[in-house]
Chain A
Amino acid sequence: GENVEQHPSTLSVQEGDSAVIKCTYSDSASNYFPWYKQELGKGPQLIIDIRSNVGEKKDQRIAVTLNKTAKHFSLHITETQPEDSAVYFCAATYGTGNQFYFGTGTSLTVIP
């Protein structure tokens, strides 16, 4: 089955700096890669996703890049703000109806 690894497990940045979280996956059949943000005591919220037919996607301060050859994808947050502090999870899946395989999460702290 698919194996998703996520790094780093914790990340602290100064407000205004950029944050990068990286994930690798093992199954070359995976073709959908979402990123979720989870605040304390809440369910994960989809913040951005990318499909295997594109290499990069951007939504305001958030971007995701995908390298299919190397089987890794990354989340980039620019101009970080304190409200970006949360746990971020990456995931990978393929086809339709299949389960999502989640990374172990990254706890991001943005220091004011």
Chain B
Amino acid sequence: GAVVSQHPSRVICKSGTSVKIECRSLDFQATTMFWYRQFPKQSLMLMATSNEGSKATYEQGVEKDKFLINHASLTLSTLTVASAHPEDSSFYICSARTSGGARMNEQFFGPGTRLTVL
């Protein structure tokens, strides 16, 4: 149990293109999902916290108009990188947090999406 999927796993696009990444909790409901960015050999950098049915909370320095987050259901959150540029190239990882039961408060990660903007 506690599987989180992320799609696509890899995307290469031209500068100026918008890219959408989907994050799904497959076998549990997640009222809270997180989006992270990870640079090579570095830790996870939290970008935003996404709560189902409400606006995402962005960390300081993260442009909300650039990184659009939608958490429309208890199992799906999407991150759209608007008008992507080469500096947006990175490894993006989502996570979903369990909201009840014996495994309450645990966070499970998706496999990540490698974005390369040419």
Q: Which residues does A use to contact B, with CB under 8 Å?
A: 32, 34, 36, 41-46, 49, 89, 91, 93, 95-97, 99-100, 102-105, 107
Beta-carbon contact of B109 and A49 below 8 Å: no
Stretch of B71-79, B81-89, B100-108 lying at the A interface? B100-108
Most buried by A among B34, B43, B108: B43
Q: Which residues does B use to contact A, with CB under 8 Å?
A: 2, 4, 6, 31-32, 34, 41-44, 46, 49, 51, 91, 93, 95, 97, 99, 104-112, 114
**A-side contacts of B34, CB under 8 Å:** 99-100
**B-side contacts of A97, CB under 8 Å:** 31-32, 51, 97
Determine the main DSSP class of B at the interface with A: strand
Beta-carbon contact of A44 and B44 below 8 Å: yes
Beta-carbon contact of A43 and B43 below 8 Å: no
Q: Considering the complex of A and B, which 6 residue pairs feature the smallest CB-CB distances, nearest first?
A: A43-B109, A43-B112, A43-B111, A44-B109, A104-B43, A43-B93
Inter-chain residue pair count (beta carbon < 8 A): 52
Task: Find the A residue at minimum CB distance from B98.
Answer: A96
**A-side contacts of B4, CB under 8 Å:** 43
Beta-carbon contact of A49 and B93 below 8 Å: no
Task: Find the B residue at minimum CB distance from A36.
Answer: B109
